[in-house]
Structures are given as structure tokens and as C-alpha cells.
Structure 1
């Protein structure tokens, strides 16, 4: 497979270097695609080596890569382009690790980017991903409060594992998968606050689309939102839903057919994508502040740690008390007294009968030995 192409300005870096340059400047595929004038899938194909950049778009892409690769010694500093206010169901882009922002410079002297603290890096990821995740989760559940709660719970778990998650290639994808799992958990039906449906959208068209989504099986609904709402490709959708690529394609086909059967005007995937964006953007959905998420996670950890310590102390105390008060040897219990029934009454002593006298004489005759001495009266 050809991985490089030639242009008038020099060779283009290999696919792995293209992705590294983009991530080194904290740019998403959508931002690079907007600069070059191509689609997000084209940037993904160029970075994976499946396609070779060519034409005007290839030249613009090569110039952008050279700008990203320009060394700091040349006197030019490239700062990360801020994430635009994208669609509410936009994919949660992976955050580079370690996350760094450029420090303010004075004059023309370049200053090295100062790495963020763990809390600042977490807050940056939360500010970038949380708003879109809440809207995506709303499409999965149809519940506003459950969507916010699921996203906040996912970020609390992310903060607990932040040292390892900060080095992940796609921390936003990890948080998205956890938020979807929390939102689609079947245990929510047993919670009193979620037994009754929430008020539907005011627009009848939005209400019809949301009701159609909620009639789909959870796996079909999740696949449809990831592919047609978030914009992931089929292999990424299959990996996030823990299914094979053919299985994900089958789920997507059945989900689209079910939507088209009830809403024929959304048979076109492009129109379906646009309508998903509209339904999510019309709802006023927001997540809490990142500091609240971090402190809530820390308070939860402190609570469960103290609960575990208290439970352990209780078990140790109960065991110690049992060992101190338990007997050192076994004593058989004394059975309660009971009256004995059926014993014959004792006979009254009286004169011997002839048979008893004969038996006594016989026993005396059989006895051997000196005669018993008997005292004589004086």
C-alpha cells in the first residue's frame, strides 16, 4: 500500500506521523477537515493509509501538516484551535495525553507549553465532551434528568481512573461508552423517580421521532445514535457496542428500516442525521460544573471508604466478643426429669412358701465352707 505522495513542496509524512502531528496540536479530525475542505471520513482514511491525498485538497493537507510540524526554533508557535460550537450530537473527540495548553508569550520569544494539572486536564475534557454527551444520552433514553445523571456518573468514574485514563488514546470515547451503559441500564425501571415518563418535546415531529427511537431495542438504538448521530464509522461503532462489524451493520439496517417504516420522510440517512441534531439541540440540557463532579466523586469515595472501615471494625468487634464469651469446653445439657411409667409396685415381705423354703434348703446344702458363726445368747 502506498503511504506517501509527492508534491511540489516535498514528501508528505507517513499516516502515523500525520495523526501524531494533529494530536500534538490538540486538533480533532473535524477541525482538520474544516481547514482542508474535506469530510471527516477522508481525514480518517488519510491518517490510516487507506487513501492517498491528492489534488488541491492533498496540497492543502500537506501545507497544514508542514505548519503543524514547524519547529519552535523557527520562531513560529502553533496553538491549538479552539473547538468550534459544533452540533449538539457531535462525537466526543479524543483528548490528547498529556493535555497541554500554550502559555502566554511576550514579544517574539517562544515559550514552551505548560502541562496542565490533572484537575485542569479533566475539566478541559469535561467542558469539551459533556454537553454533547448529555444530548446524545437524551436520544437514547428520552429522559433529561437520566441523561445528565448518566453523563455525570461516567465522568465521576473517569476521575477515579484519571491517572490511567489520561494516557488513553480516546478518553472521550471511554466516557461516552460508560455514559451509554449507565443510561441504558435496566435497573432504572425500578427507581421511583423514573417509573413515570417525562414531558415529551413540544414539537409533534420531534415527539414522533423520539417515540420511534424509544421503540427500538437498546442495541439498535445505540448503534443508530453512534453512526447517524455521533458520526462514527462502522468499525468504531461495532467496537463501542461490543459487536462484530457485520452485526453492527445488521443492527443499523434494521434500525433505519424501523424508523423509515414509521417516518417515511427520514428514509434518507442524511435527513435522519439532521433531524437527530435538531431534536437534541431544541432541549435545554446541560451538565453540572466540572468542579462539582470532581468534589462529588471525592466525597463518594470518602463515604464508601468510611463505610468499609466501619463495617470491618464491626465484624472484628463481633468476632472478638464471640471469642471472649464462648465456653472453652463442651458440657452436655442435663435432660429434664420425667416420670417413669409401667414399673410394678414393690411386694410386701411375708413368710416363705414351701417352694421358697425348699430352694433355701437346697442352696444351704450346696454351699461349702465353714459354718457361719452366730452369737449365742449368754
Structure 2
């Protein structure tokens, strides 16, 4: 069997993992548009780093981690389109489950989805959520306690696993973009970022060169402006001589009397 090209391998991974990821990110956020955006961005990152993803032991886990991290980013709260959750599902059971999930802190929400919804073991769940195994176990127990109180008819972990895994395996409620458009969108985004970095670097180099050329080569002290003290106006130099001062100055200049007679008294 001939080996798949990178494009064919990426398209196969997208077709296999994208629908489930759309449901997972919806359970994490309660926002359908954000869930689709998270899946698209995660696969765009995967295509940009495809040599790394292609040899990863678990490429689905690689993309899943990227999608979950993007979906749970706190910066989405500042965006008007993703500030509030969507209208809850029509079914009472799913509405109660989603409402209870959204009440959990994001790390707890993600932990219970990975462990009880997807069936990952505890060490893998801890590694994907970047937590220690005891911390992941504590989050899981707390999340189960909260969900058991909030969701009617939730008997135990087995019932929770069934309730969480059911929506993940269904077809997405909204149509996802085609794999080809995801690849081209990622390429366009990468080129746009590259151009932005090049332009920013050019501007920084130009500003640095201009500063080097126009900067002074020595320190030039700046005279502080005068200030009025006690209502006396400030003068910029020596005071102007009065007429009697001018007369005394002229006399001293025309009739100098240096010599001993100024120091030794003359006998009478």
C-alpha cells in the first residue's frame, strides 16, 4: 500500500478526530462557535507543525490538547462573540449536565471530561492537564461530587461516563470546515504572521538606526528655568547699574590709586 502524502494523512486525521473534538470543546465551553473555532485553530497548528505531529505516538491527543487549551483560554471572556454561553440544549438531561459542567472551574471540567468522558487513565489525564496525579485525582473527585449534586439521576461514575461519552460520539450539530480549507487557512495565517514579524523587525531596525544617527554624542546640560522666590522677580544676569553706580565706576577707573599711600599713612 503506498504511503500517504502529508495532505492525505492530515485530512484523514481531521476526518477522524474533528467531530468528536467539536463536541468536547462544546461541553467545555457551552459555545458552539467557539468549539468550531477551537477545532479549526488546533488543526491549523497541527498542520503548521505536521512533521512533529505525524510522528507523535498519539496525534489525536496532540490535537485534542491544543483544542482544549484554546477553548478554555480566559481571553475569550473579553470577546463579545464568546462572552456568554449559547442557548442550552433542548433535552432536560443534557441541559442539566452542561449547566453543571460549566459551573466547575476549567481545570476540573477538563479533568472529568478526559477521565470519565473519554476514558483516559489518571496519569494520562494528569499529563494532558499539566497537573500531578494526586492533583488530578482531587479535581476528579471534586467534579464528581458537584455533578452528582447538580445532575438528577446521576448514580455514579459509570452513569457519568455514559452521559459524557454519548454526545462525544455523535455527529457535530454544525458543519465543520473542510480539511483543505483548514490547511490553506493555516498556511495563510502563518504567512500573515511572518509578514507581520518581518515588518515589525524592519520598523525596529529603522527606529534604532535613526536614534543612533540623531542622538547627541556628548551630554549637553540644560539650564533650569528661573523661578520667583518670595515675590522677587528673577533676573537672568547681574543687576542693572544705577546712575550713581556708573559715576563711581568711572571715577575708580580714571583715578586709580595703587601704591603704599593707600596702605601706609603719610606723616603730617
Q: Which TM bucket (shorter chain)?
A: 0.7 to 0.9
Q: 2:188 aligns with which of 284, 290, 299?
A: 299
* Aligned match of 2:115: 227
110, 124, 133: which is aligned to 2:12? 124
Higher share of residues assigned helix = 2
The yes-or-no answer on 1:204 pairing with 2:92 is: yes
| Preserved CA contact (<8 Å) 2:100 2:150 | yes
Residue 324 of structure 1, CA deviation: 3.8
Query: Distance between the aligned counterparts of 1:244 and 1:149, measured in 2?
Result: 29
* Higher RCO (C-alpha under 8 Å, 6+ residues apart): 2
Three-state SS of the structure 2 residue aligned to 1:202 is coil
TM-score (ref. length: structure 1)? 0.58
- Displacement, 1:301? 1.1
1:275 has 2:163 as partner: yes
CA displacement, residues 60-92 of structure 1 (integer Å, 9 cap, x when unaligned) = xxxxxxxxxxxxxxxxxxxxxxxxxxxxxxxxx
Which of these residues, 230, 241, 247, is aligned with residue 129 of structure 2? 241
Query: Of 205, 225, 239, which residue of structure 2 is paired with 1:341?
Result: 239
Cα distance in 2 for partners of 1:252, 1:231 equals: 13
Distance 1:279 1:328, change over 3 A: closer
Q: 1:339 to 1:242 in 2, by over 3 A?
A: closer
1:1-378 equivalent positions in 2, closer than 5 A = 113-280=1-168, 281=170, 284-326=173-215, 338=236, 340-341=238-239, 343=241, 345-346=244-245, 348=247, 362=261
Q: TM-score, normalised by structure 2?
A: 0.80
Q: What's the CA shift for 1:114?
A: 0.9
- RMSD of aligned residue pairs (Cα, Å): 3.2
Deviation of residue 135 (structure 1)?
0.6
| SS, match of residue 247 in structure 2 | coil
Q: Which moved more, 1:150-159 or 1:313-322?
A: 313-322
How many residue pairs were aligned?
248
